[in-house]
Amino acid sequence: MGVAVGVDSHKRSFAVAIVDDIGRDVGVRQFPNNPNGHTRILEWLAGYDVDLVGVEGSANFGAGLTRVLVAARVTVKEVPAFLTARERGRAPSQGKSDPADARAIARSTLRGQGLCEPLHDGPNADLKLLGDHRDQLIKARQRVANQTHSLLVRTFPGYEGKVKRLSTKKGIRAARVVASQSDSVAAELIAVNLTELEGFDARIVASEKRIKQAVAATKTSLTAKKGIGAIAAAMFLGEVNDPRRLRSESAFAMINGSAPLRASSGDIRRLNRALHIMAMTLLRTDEETKAYVRRRRAEGKTKREAMRALKRHLSNVVYRCLMEDCRNLERAA
């Protein structure tokens, strides 16, 4: 019988574990995350009858190794983070470490349940890169805005009466007027920060324009659904990558956080945020959605429970749309 391999990927290193056909530890080693490390992993695995390699993070830190393994005709699967956590919970005495995680990934790979196809390069992967870039710009802008508020409150107490927020052009202009009342270093830095905020705003607008162009190029039908604009569509497409990775509506709900048992990883947060945007948009604009939530509340559900039910319903809508787009592409090919 062959062996199963688990790879815990990090920015600078991999922990790689091998287990036999009943899950017993065969070996675990660590390798650098670089071309030399990739070659050494292949050389080590060549000494075993490898049935399957499971990689946690095949689209992130494990992307390079995944490409090398696939090129070497090794069967690779993505192991979602929640499977690793679940497997690790079966042996809590081993603690949390890279080798222990690699063993948990290997045993999850051996079980074969809940595994996904590795993420692919292509338009959807590009959407994830574009979405990540937009998020980074927004976070960087928020840091500068927080610093500016701190300088304003120290230098111009009560400024809030004139400057409601720094998220609009009007707010930035008002802050410039306030800062112009002093020639202090703090006022000088406020002016510099305000210019930075304007720069971030321009870059965010450009980023969103690029995302809209990339989403349109995919010809997805997601944007035809109520509540889904280009930004939310980019989140869904970028995080899912290849919808054929998803086994069912329940599997999609698991990775987007609308299932009762939630996983803990980056894709959960991004996908759940996309669902939240969709839900809140529909609650503002769609009478059917409002009626849906009212029915759930009438059944005795709390507001939070009604929202979770709505998100699960919307998750199914998105899943069916993704799968239909896949089938259409296959028919066109």
| Per-residue pLDDT reduced to its tens digit, 228-286 | 999 999 999 998 888 877 778 988 888 888 887 554 444 578 899 999 999 999 999 99
The two beta strands, 3-9 and 13-19, are: antiparallel
Cα R_g (the chain), whole angstroms: 24
Q: Is the pTM of this model over 0.85?
A: no
CA distance 27 to 303: 50
Q: Is residue 287 part of a domain?
A: yes
Q: Is residue 116 part of a domain?
A: no
Kindly state the tokens that stand for 305.
Answer: 């429970």
pLDDT at 222: 96
Domain match, 76 and 162 both: no
Q: What is the pLDDT of residues 124-141, one digit of tens each?
A: 989 999 999 999 999 999
**b/e 45-64 (16+ beta carbons within 10 angstroms → b):** beeeebbbbbbbbbbbbbbe
Domain match, 306 and 213 both: no
Which single residue is written with the structure tokens 């990927």?
Answer: 9
Q: Is residue 117 part of a domain?
A: no
Using an 8 Å Cβ cutoff, are 101 and 15 in contact? yes
- Total domains in the chain come to 3
Give the three-state DSSP class for 5. strand
The two beta strands, 3-9 and 76-78, are: unpaired
Range of the domain at 50: 3-111
